[in-house]
Amino acid sequence: MTTSIVNRIDEWITRVKAYGALKAFEFIPGYPAHKTPSPVTKYTVAVTESEEKVRHFFIGDCITERCTGKMHEIEMCLRVYAPEGSSGSALLRASALLMDALEQQDEENAIDALILSGIGYDTAARVEYRDVTAHLSMMEEAVA
């Protein structure tokens, strides 16, 4: 991913972290996995940018301006870990809060889709989780 796209995603996640009830959540990088705390004592979100496709195109299909662009299609996974002893419904509420924050702080209208997974269990951290997967499209313009 180009630096400008990475910086824009980092700024967005920073805004999400400061949004309402999410201030109490801990945000960590998704890799390496050993960074996941065990036991999990508060809601923890592991952020991973898992896939990117780049499409080159002419902006406005106007070749004479010699202005090209790149569309970055990114799949970002935010894994929400629940504290030990919390219920599945509490994990659903925490995931819904995260999805709401992602939408509210999406200043670029980059979100194409938000997908919520079922409940999973991380055997290494011994904790339940849900994945919030965000499909993003971000344009980067460049003069040819």
Structural domains of the chain, count: 1
**pTM metric for this prediction:** 0.83
Two tokens at 22? 């999410």
Query: Does the structure show a pLDDT above 90 at 105?
Result: yes
Sign of CA dihedral 14, 83, 134, 30: positive
Predicted pLDDT at 60: 56
Least-confidence region, from 22-36, 53-67, 96-110:
53-67
Q: If you average pLDDT over residues 13-37, what whole number do you get? A: 86
Contacts of 95 by beta carbon, 8 Å cutoff, 6+ apart: 80, 116, 130, 132
Contact at 8 Å (CB) between 138 and 111?
A: no
Where would I find the beta strands (DSSP E) of the chain? 26-29, 44-58, 67-81, 111-116, 120-122, 127-143
Q: If you average pLDDT over residues 137-143, what whole number do you get? A: 72
Predicted pLDDT at 101: 95
Q: Write the CATH number for 132.
A: 3.30.2000.10
Own/partner contacts of 92-101, CB < 8 Å, gap of 24 or more, are: 92/130, 94/25, 94/43, 95/130, 95/132, 97/20, 97/21, 97/22, 98/16, 98/22, 98/25, 98/45, 98/132, 99/132, 101/16, 101/19, 101/20, 101/22
pLDDT tens sequence across 29-62: 887 766 777 788 899 999 988 767 877 665 555 4
Residue range(s) defining the domain that contains residue 127: 3-143
